[in-house]
Amino acid sequence: MPSWDIAITNNGQQPYSDSRNLSSGAASSPPYGYCLPEYALLDGSFSNAPEEVVRNGYGYISNYLSDENGEFAENQQPVITISYDRNKTSNGVQVSFNNVSGDYCSELQVVWYKDEEIVHQQTYTPDGPEYECEAKVSLFNRIIITFRKTSLPYRYIWITALANVKLSNAGGLKIVYGDIALNAKENSTATSDDKEPYVDMENLSEAIETPEYSYCYSDYALLDGTFSNAPEQITDAGYVSQSISDNDGVFSDPPQVTFTLANGNYSSVGITIVSNEHSGDYCSHVKVEWYRDSEKLSEQEYYPDSTNYFCYNVVEYYNKIVITFLETLRPLRPVFLTAIDYGIQRIFGSDEAYDVSCIMEVNEISSEISSNTLDFSVKTKTEYAFDFQKKQSVRLYFDEQLMGQFYLDDGNQSSIWDYKINTQDAVGLLDGAQFYGGIYTNKNVNDLFSEIITPEDLPFFVDDSFSTTTVTGYIPICSKRDAIQQIAFAIGAVVNTAYNEVIQIYPQQTETSFAFDDSEVFRGATVEHSDIVTGVRVYTHTYTKSDETGELYNDTLNGTAIVEFSEPYYDLMITGGQIIESGDNYAKISASGGSVVLSGKKFSHATVALLKEDERITNYKNVAEVKDATLVNPSNGQAVLERVYQYYRNNETISAKVVAKDREVGQRGTINTVFAGQKTGTIRKMDFTFANSVIAEVEMG
């Protein structure tokens, strides 16, 4: 079974082959004597093919056959595309060809993409059936491999494994902390009276770069192919002033850009000015003024020395910034400005970050969903103060591979240079947000996840296998974390934030996708046994409308109030006031000082217990119960019962200290123990430490 986040496709394969098997590492080539020149030895190692070859775990076998020179016609070159749902890094691609005959591809091209942009491309000439296409590539999400030649004439392309080799020796630990005023950029509006006609000031709220155009400024563009002619209509150029500096780089009438921030006041430790990173042009002298409405809070002049420059100044509760551009680095230049950040991106390596602790956990049946955490200390090399704000972005990398997106939970200063920072992932953020829930009948889970997560401005991904999945039942008033858990448990989904910027919701992994090599285990794995669960009892829930009424509120009210229900109601009625907004679990009401009575009709709630036991065990009973999963109903109850039963029947927990490599929580694999042989399990927890490589204390079950 391929990993949930990988899709492998091709431009044509034999009907009995399956390129999707290539990521499992367990595919093989057919043991048959193909009728190809000098293919099969007459030593008994090959067998005759049956009349119909069926799929039997074989890897990829191309439709096309090479010619007498071992070459493929240009329009018949076999192509394999590997697509990832997450950005990856790479040291190259390991390819295993025909492990029966020893045939291989002798020339191929690999192209790495990030979306539609080519990140790297290279041609390789393999010299055997096992070959690594070496290349250091960061941040890509698609690989296209084109096979051009075979090692012998008249051959198919046989492939039994394709594996991305994770980037290594690329800088080690890196923590990127966005010490930024939250939502300031999203709520800012830039204006200027001095700008080129093609300038769109909204670009300054977006992630853009200066175009590679040969602007007609003195000595601007090199004639080395790195610049191109500008089109008639220039777009997405950022801010470019109409005024140009003089021969000394000084503006006689300095351009100004005003940033007005809506929806409140903001605080930060300064601003970051990003200029023309393509040509290297920037303003070498600027003045920045901070305002709250018409009150000037602070003013500073700065002398930038790079295209990405931080203007340090701790200012609290501002809602307007005015930047005056006084001089340019080079003469006869306009102002180039592509972005303003309301704070600074701090990057900590192993020389500044210490006591780094990162814990990631997954429950494969989502009986609970954990919040991953990253805690670390910093001995900073700069005198810039920190402006700790809840939900500030913190990203953990190792060798340029994103390990997790976290958000500031708490930060404090322990000395002049030392700071302690505690973070949590998106699941932790959702624990602090309330969801009003309700009664659902065949509710599409993608829509329901969106209703829960989107208002929190957190990105998420739901695997395509759930595109038509629905839920029926009830969610009470709870945290959004608990609401997601209820849905995931009911549909058999895993909720995971590891190695991604988004909340990932995908099916439980039931097939093995890795094996820990003995050389990767620091000490022999140990096995602990919990009490045997002899059976599981799961309750299904059915909600139907009844005629029974109940009083929900009876009091005087002057203004508005939100009434929260302990059980669902419908057909709400009110006297003495009005209902502004309502759902199955709540009502927002208003009145002008009089007595208010709110009532409604109840839902009947019926439960049925489903039981599955190990009938072999008669002298001991230990039955686990699931009572409060109110999205479990008669339609999905048996499937939930089976998942829970299989989960609890495994009473072993395997613990080991390992080299993590590209293993992650939620994956299922094998590991050798000292005394109990090889064990198979799902990685449920990884407690990381960081040195020259990533080490983890893992728990599997």
Domains in the chain and their CATH numbers?
A: 6-167 (2.60.120.260), 182-341 (2.60.120.260), 429-503 (3.55.50), 514-530+651-700 (no CATH), 535-623 (no CATH)
From residue 639, alpha-carbon distances to 365, 489, 492, 644 in Å are 12, 11, 9, 9
Question: Mean pLDDT across the stretch 509-536?
Answer: 90
Question: Mean pLDDT across the stretch 642-664?
Answer: 93
Predicted confidence at residue 213, as pLDDT, reads: 87
Predicted confidence at residue 111, as pLDDT, reads: 97
Predicted confidence at residue 4, as pLDDT, reads: 66
From residue 387, alpha-carbon distances to 177, 345, 596 in Å are 11, 12, 46
From residue 345, alpha-carbon distances to 204, 270, 308, 384, 412 in Å are 17, 11, 11, 12, 18
What would the two tokens of residue 325 be?
Answer: 């551009």
Please provide the average confidence, as pLDDT, over all residues in the chain: 94
Q: Is the pLDDT of residue 8 over 70?
A: yes
Per DSSP, the three-state class of 490 is: helix
Q: Is the pLDDT of residue 609 over 80?
A: yes
Q: Is the pLDDT of residue 2 over 50?
A: no
Question: Mean pLDDT across the stretch 46-52?
Answer: 87
Pairing of β 623-626 and β 535-564:
parallel
**Nearest to residue 109, comparing CAs of 64, 72, 63, 156?**
72
Answer with the residue of higher pLDDT: 674 or 115: 115
DSSP structural state of residue 363: -
Predicted confidence at residue 228, as pLDDT, reads: 87
Percent of the chain with pLDDT over 70: 99
**Nearest to residue 10, comparing CAs of 106, 134, 125, 143?**
143
- Exposure pattern of 647-670 as b/e (b: 16+ CB <10 Å)? bbeeeebbbbbbebbebbbbbbbe
Residue 267, H or E segment: strand 266-274
652 vs 700: CA distance, rounded Å: 8
Tell me the whole-structure pTM to 2 decimals: 0.84
3-state helix, strand, coil in the chain (%, to 5): 10, 50, 40
660 vs 516: CA distance, rounded Å: 9
From residue 242, alpha-carbon distances to 170, 193, 194, 195, 469 in Å are 42, 9, 6, 5, 55
Answer with the residue of higher pLDDT: 404 or 382: 404
Question: Mean pLDDT across the stretch 61-83?
Answer: 96
Per DSSP, the three-state class of 63 is: coil
**Nearest to residue 284, comparing CAs of 270, 273, 293?**
273
Q: Is the pLDDT of residue 534 over 90?
A: yes
* Burial (CB count within 10 angstroms: exposed 0-12, middle 13-18, buried 19+), residue 683: buried
How many helices (H) and strands (E) in the chain? 4, 43
487 vs 484: CA distance, rounded Å: 5
Answer with the residue of higher pLDDT: 105 or 673: 105
Predicted confidence at residue 664, as pLDDT, reads: 93
Give Cβ neighbours of residue 69 (< 8 Å, ≥ 6 apart). Answer: 149, 153
From residue 40, alpha-carbon distances to 31, 33, 59, 68, 103 in Å are 9, 5, 19, 18, 11
Q: Is the pLDDT of residue 221 over 90?
A: no
- DSSP for 147-191 reads EEEESSSS---EESEEEEE---SS--EEEEEEEE-TTTTTTEEEE
Question: Mean pLDDT across the stretch 165-183?
Answer: 88
Pairing of β 503-507 and β 460-462:
parallel
* Burial (CB count within 10 angstroms: exposed 0-12, middle 13-18, buried 19+), residue 323: buried
CB 438 within 8 A of CB 211: no
Answer with the residue of higher pLDDT: 232 or 300: 300
CB 244 within 8 A of CB 334: yes
Predicted confidence at residue 1, as pLDDT, reads: 37
> First CA to last CA across the chain, in angstroms?
19
CB atoms within 10 A of CB 26: 16
Q: Determine if residue 547 is left, alpha or beta; phi over 0 gives left, psi from -120 to 50 gives alpha, anything else beta.
A: alpha
607 vs 618: CA distance, rounded Å: 27
575 vs 586: CA distance, rounded Å: 16
pLDDT digit string, tens, across residues 568-599 = 999 999 999 999 999 999 999 999 999 999 99
What would the two tokens of residue 380 be?
Answer: 């900073």
Percent of the chain with pLDDT over 90: 82
